[in-house]
Structure 1
Amino acid sequence: MGWTESLRTFIHPRVITMLFLGFAAGIPLLLIFSSLSLWLGEAGVERKAVTFFSWAALAYSFKFVWAPLIDKLPLPFLTKALGRRRAWLLVAQIGIILAIVLMGSIDPATSQDNLMFMALAAVLLGFTSATQDVVIDAYRIEAAETRLQAMMSSTYIAGYRLGMIVAGAGALFLASGMGSEKGHYVYSAWQWTYFIMAATMLVGVVTTLVIPEPQRQTVDKHHYATADYLRLVLVFGCAVTGFALTFFYGSDVFKAVTALAGNDAFVGFLVETVHFALAIAVAVLIGWALVQAGAVNQAMAKDTWIAPIADFFQRYGLKTAFLLLALIGLYRITDIVPGVISNVFYQDLGFSKPEIATAVKTFGVIVSIIGGFAGGLFATRFGVMRTLMWGAMLTAFTNLVFVWLAYAGHDVPVMYLAVTADNLAAGFASAAFVAFLSSLTNVSFTAVQYAIFSSLMTLLPKTIGGYSGTMVDGIGYPGFFIFVTLIGIPVLWLVWAVGKHLQVEQSPSA
């Protein structure tokens, strides 16, 4: 394909479509991540409670659980009218709008009950936005031939970054412009900011309504009744309910244990880790018991989840497979964990929302795109494993710049240096890591295996990130960023070990 033909593909309707769908996918994440953390901080919510809200984004880490349902289960009326992909996409987008409006309708400063309702709305936003991501990924693969996939991915990422700028920098500028600042909290400013963010999702809704449904290019090997999938949804709902009840109703018990230990920050971290693990164990036990009791078609469950996992272990063997899973689960830990508390960190140093919006949400996003291009070029020129090693070193040791900033205080040049180093490293490492994950998938199970990999990639870092506020309370910001740097060192060993066990070959088109 020549340069002229390559450039011409950028104006292909399918490619342009991904720009708008990418924009819709980029809006929700920061509204339950960094922008929400600033809102809660201004509302006087304690720091450790603010960082716990990052768990609302854990839906992105568990999306592989319900992704097969989205792939198989028809929606009444909508699937017939719009097609299976557009029907699920529209439902997800309406759910996102509803969740954002609900969040905007709640003032977290007025009561603990309101804070709980805000958390539930944030969880709804995380679930619906993760669902939208699953559908967009499927639509992108099915909507066009192979020669357009690279361009569609490029425009999707560009749209996603634009959405993040709007939901990050845009939201901060709006709230600040309407008068809300740290020390001068104005609920109506954040309320209207979130209402406006909900309105921006209409870009995705209109796109969904006007684009054509892709032709189905694969045929299911197995056909199960709709009732089988509905039963699976009910079992999933029971497991989620078990998790929620265990986590929320067990809170008082675990708080009491922490109080007995003198409210020590480290003990609190360990206690809350056990608390979270227990809730997950209860959910898994409920799901397993219901499957064993025959509540779900066991053959369907095996075809959906067991076969892709078994294939992975069969291809790589136990030792290499566990090394790969450890690397996948830990590679981004030095990037994601400090990201949870970064906005609160800037705020505590005295930076204003416009300063944070300009440096982090606009300049930082542009720098991360540059880092991504650099990571792709290095992976093509020097190989994926070597680039993974450089990316792991960069993401770990650039956290030391934040130690400098913590001591420097409100120093704008040092802030921009930290933002530049952090985003270049994150973009560089992410590009190499996506290429690495793609190389691990079997073409027979691409969707499920990639969903599992991408979910595992964020699960542990986001979980630990929820305790970042507790850690800062105990060891301070300099100690926290040194800790984050140190936990990146085992990742370097994992990259080296995987390189010894696995030869990854990456084509230039990946």
Structure 2
Amino acid sequence: MFGKRPSFRNPWAWVPTLYYAQGIPYVVVMLVSVIMYKRMGISNADIAFYTSLLYLPWAIKPLWSPFVDIFKTKRLWIVIMQFIVGLGLAGVAFTIPLPNFLQYTLAFFLLLAFSSATHDIAADGFYMLGLSEHDQAFFVGIRSTFYRLSMITGQGLLIILAGYFETHSGLPPAVIDVTVNPEVKTEQVFLPDSISNFSAEGELKVVANSSSVTLNTKKRSKSEVDSIVHLVQIKNIQNGFYNTKDGQPKLPILKINPADYSKLVGNISIISFALSSQPEAGQDYVVNFDRDGGDKSIAILEGTRFLFNKANWNKPALVVIQVDPKLKTETSAVFKAISGNIPWAWSMTFLILVGLFILFFIYHYFILPYPVKDGPAVKDASVSVGREFIRTFALFFKKKEILLIITFLLIYRFGEAQLVKLASPFLLDPREVGGLGLTTGEVGFVYGTVGIIALTLGGLTGGFLAARDGLKKWIWWMFAAINIPHILYIYLAFAQPENFVIINLCVAGEQFGYGFGFTAYMLYMIYVSEGEFKTSHYAICTGFMALSMMIPGIFAGMIQEALGYPNFFIWILLTMIPGFFITRMLKIDPEFGKKKIEAK
């Protein structure tokens, strides 16, 4: 009874978990690592440089995809890669507290990146082997949904979890409520020399000069704000708050352009805090200042990480907060000065991820089916592996109408690739320069909530219809859905509506169209990958998919600056014309994606 290996299992039992597991390592390496390194005191330059290099395995994964086809089964590759991902996460967790944590954790993140990219190759191949064409079409929206959920987990839940550990592992924090009210009187910004509301007795904790701050929406000149920020930087450096293992950083030089005297930016205020009593000799406390909730239109302009010790415990650490200049209504946010055990907090977060991937490994080891076609592409030991490796690429580029296929892969999202780079700047830019003048918090809601919901619904709808009627029937309509809703951005650019509901509806319409239309792109990659090396060929297709977003995006900003927002969105709409003819030229089996009724 236990010896028989099922060649089929209900896809609901493994497709959602497989693609949820696929997304977690990516978001950990590319996004969570950035926040972790920032909390650990690594400079922005080093963070940007090293984490950008970590993307390399995903960029070049088509180069080693034939090995996944040639050796063993996709099922085995999946469970082994999930086990290795677990080992990589454990490596990060155990090396975070070490003195040379940057080198060690980067090595394990690189292991995570390569194993995750290999997992992507195997999972996508297994998806094609373990499902019928109909189920592949139906579940394409499901798999995208759970992949997006993994992104939300990484960007949201994991960061919240690490923040919880930070808050509950060190000194009691200082909580500051910040309120913005257009009606309050403008106050002079001053730099405090001391913290007035603490005594050097009792429990060691972080204390703020005030538990609440109120400021109005009146704008200030950029020159004034830059000068105040410069003074804050000097004070914090002189007091030793910005010290690193390399010592005290150099004092910054203030540079003000003549135009900055007339340029207006958001109002600012200074928050100060210190320790309540003197720490023991040799004991350092790192205090991180961050938002704990509320409107993102109130942001930190200067001061996020401070080093306290016996020499500076009672000196005021200074933070500059700034109001979004487009904010016109009353709002609030809560900030915290937290002195948690940062290495311990992030180690615990990664150990929880280790436990999660142990569960994934065990679950998929027992639950994943054993598709009949899942086997090594090279079964004859006498066949040269090198020759088969080369043949894998040769067969892809020998496919019938390969130039048409590649052109379609590169041009299908040509307009969307440009829009995605400028959509948020358009929403944020002032109305005077053609934007909609939304605040950061409003843009976060539009894209982070409304947009995600619409995108997911579009993907699910596309998968259902393609599974019911086949890809051929819907591919042109899906191409139209991913391009024609750009008209909504043309309307927004010309009308510049102030009604927030209308803006949300327009963005939701465009995102629904993108989710719906992207279904055809995913299914077409599956369709053209059919054959002897479908796993490798699908990976090659994803390489062209990455290029299709990268190349147009490079030039999008320059085109927008030359044309302005209204004409830029018209340009984006017009770029669908070549794709219209390319899509009409595609030859697709009318039955691909439909449910086939087997004769009994």
The secondary structure found in structure 2 opposite 1:398 is helix
- Write the distance in 1 (CA, Å) between the matches of 2:473 and 2:352: 44
Does the C-alpha gap of structure 1 residues 83 and 322 become closer, same or farther in structure 2, counting only changes over 3 Å?
Answer: closer
Q: Which of 471, 481, 484 pairs up with 1:394? A: 481
- Write the distance in 2 (CA, Å) between the matches of 1:125 and 1:473: 39
Q: Which of 15, 21, 24 pairs up with 1:24? A: 21
Residues 197-231 of structure 1: CA distance to partner in whole angstroms, max 9, x if unpaired? Answer: 99557534421144326658445453699xx9xxx
Does the C-alpha gap of structure 1 residues 142 and 331 become closer, same or farther in structure 2, counting only changes over 3 Å?
Answer: closer
Which residue does the alignment assign to 1:69? 67
Confirm or deny that 1:177 pairs with 2:175: no
- Write the distance in 2 (CA, Å) between the matches of 1:483 and 1:384: 28
Q: How far 1:102 moved relative to its partner?
A: 11
Which residue does the alignment assign to 2:82? 89
> Map of 1:217-256 to 2, 5 A cutoff?
217=372, 218-220=374-376, 222=378
Amino acid at match of 1:374: T
Q: Which of 99, 116, 123 pairs up with 1:136? A: 123
The secondary structure found in structure 2 opposite 1:399 is helix
CA contact (8 A) 1:102 1:121 kept: no
Does the C-alpha gap of structure 1 residues 128 and 380 become closer, same or farther in structure 2, counting only changes over 3 Å?
Answer: closer
> Cα RMSD (Å) of the superposition?
5.4
Which residue does the alignment assign to 2:331? none
Q: How far 1:393 moved relative to its partner?
A: 2.5
Which residue does the alignment assign to 1:211? 364
- Write the distance in 2 (CA, Å) between the matches of 1:398 and 1:357: 21
CA contact (8 A) 2:66 2:533 kept: no
> Map of 1:350-499 to 2, 5 A cutoff?
350-353=438-441, 355-379=442-466, 384-385=471-472, 387-406=474-493, 408=496, 412-472=500-560, 475-496=563-584, 498-499=585-586
- Write the distance in 2 (CA, Å) between the matches of 1:340 and 1:194: 34
Amino acid at match of 1:22: Y
- Write the distance in 1 (CA, Å) between the matches of 2:470 and 2:57: 32
Which residue does the alignment assign to 1:508? 594
Structure 1: gaps of 5 or more residues:
1-11, 106-113, 229-295
CA contact (8 A) 1:399 1:485 kept: yes
> Map of 1:37-52 to 2, 5 A cutoff?
none
Confirm or deny that 1:330 pairs with 2:445: no
Q: Which of 339, 349, 353 pairs up with 2:420? A: 339
How many residue pairs get matched?
404
Which residue does the alignment assign to 1:309? 397
Does the C-alpha gap of structure 1 residues 194 and 146 become closer, same or farther in structure 2, counting only changes over 3 Å?
Answer: farther
The secondary structure found in structure 2 opposite 1:177 is strand
Q: TM-score, normalised by structure 2?
A: 0.52
- Write the distance in 1 (CA, Å) between the matches of 2:43 and 2:508: 30
Q: How far 1:367 moved relative to its partner?
A: 1.7
Higher helix share: 1
Quote the sequence identity (%). 18
Amino acid at match of 2:457: I
Amino acid at match of 1:69: F
- Write the distance in 2 (CA, Å) between the matches of 1:459 and 1:215: 33
Does the C-alpha gap of structure 1 residues 432 and 486 become closer, same or farther in structure 2, counting only changes over 3 Å?
Answer: same
Amino acid at match of 1:334: G
Does the C-alpha gap of structure 1 residues 463 and 144 become closer, same or farther in structure 2, counting only changes over 3 Å?
Answer: closer
- Write the distance in 1 (CA, Å) between the matches of 2:506 and 2:43: 27
> Map of 1:272-311 to 2, 5 A cutoff?
298-310=386-398
Q: How far 1:163 moved relative to its partner?
A: 1.6
Amino acid at match of 2:79: R
Q: TM-score, normalised by structure 1?
A: 0.60
Does the C-alpha gap of structure 1 residues 490 and 405 become closer, same or farther in structure 2, counting only changes over 3 Å?
Answer: same
Q: How far 1:66 moved relative to its partner?
A: 1.6
- Write the distance in 2 (CA, Å) between the matches of 1:331 and 1:449: 19
Residues 328-349 of structure 1: CA distance to partner in whole angstroms, max 9, x if unpaired? Answer: 2211222333224544554554
Which residue does the alignment assign to 1:236? none
CA contact (8 A) 2:71 2:378 kept: no
The secondary structure found in structure 2 opposite 1:443 is coil
Q: How far 1:488 moved relative to its partner?
A: 2.2
Which residue does the alignment assign to 2:211? none
- Write the distance in 2 (CA, Å) between the matches of 1:456 and 1:199: 35
Amino acid at match of 2:292: G
Q: How far 1:491 moved relative to its partner?
A: 1.0
- Write the distance in 1 (CA, Å) between the matches of 2:110 and 2:417: 19
- Write the distance in 2 (CA, Å) between the matches of 1:147 and 1:507: 4
> Map of 1:125-204 to 2, 5 A cutoff?
128-140=115-127, 156-168=143-155, 176-177=291-292, 181=299, 183=301, 186=304, 202-204=355-357
Amino acid at match of 1:370: L
Residues 124-163 of structure 1: CA distance to partner in whole angstroms, max 9, x if unpaired? Answer: 8765543332232345456789998778766544422322
Q: How far 1:414 moved relative to its partner?
A: 3.5
- Write the distance in 2 (CA, Å) between the matches of 1:39 and 1:336: 29
Q: How far 1:327 moved relative to its partner?
A: 0.8
- Write the distance in 2 (CA, Å) between the matches of 1:338 and 1:122: 31
Q: How far 1:429 moved relative to its partner?
A: 0.9
CA contact (8 A) 1:330 1:461 kept: no
Report which stretch shifted further, 56-65 or 397-406: 56-65
Does the C-alpha gap of structure 1 residues 44 and 183 become closer, same or farther in structure 2, counting only changes over 3 Å?
Answer: farther
- Write the distance in 1 (CA, Å) between the matches of 2:428 and 2:94: 25
Q: How far 1:119 moved relative to its partner?
A: 12
- Write the distance in 2 (CA, Å) between the matches of 1:96 and 1:474: 46
Which residue does the alignment assign to 2:243? none
Residues 265-324 of structure 1: CA distance to partner in whole angstroms, max 9, x if unpaired? Answer: xxxxxxxxxxxxxxxxxxxxxxxxxxxxxxx964233233223433x1xxx2xxx33122
Higher strand share: 2
Q: How far 1:97 moved relative to its partner?
A: 8.2
Amino acid at match of 1:137: D
Residues 71-107 of structure 1: CA distance to partner in whole angstroms, max 9, x if unpaired? Answer: 5568xxxx9xx9543122332455578789999x9xx
Which residue does the alignment assign to 1:256? none
Q: Which of 321, 326, 330 pairs up with 2:402? A: 321
- Write the distance in 2 (CA, Å) between the matches of 1:38 and 1:399: 34
The secondary structure found in structure 1 opposite 2:548 is helix
Does the C-alpha gap of structure 1 residues 150 and 167 become closer, same or farther in structure 2, counting only changes over 3 Å?
Answer: same
Does the C-alpha gap of structure 1 residues 150 and 440 become closer, same or farther in structure 2, counting only changes over 3 Å?
Answer: closer
Q: How far 1:412 moved relative to its partner?
A: 2.6
Which residue does the alignment assign to 1:111? none
Amino acid at match of 1:492: F
Amino acid at match of 1:203: L
The secondary structure found in structure 1 opposite 2:594 is coil
The secondary structure found in structure 1 opposite 2:518 is helix
- Write the distance in 1 (CA, Å) between the matches of 2:141 and 2:551: 30
Amino acid at match of 2:489: F
Report which stretch shifted further, 425-434 or 124-133: 124-133
- Write the distance in 1 (CA, Å) between the matches of 2:393 and 2:120: 19
- Write the distance in 1 (CA, Å) between the matches of 2:424 and 2:95: 23
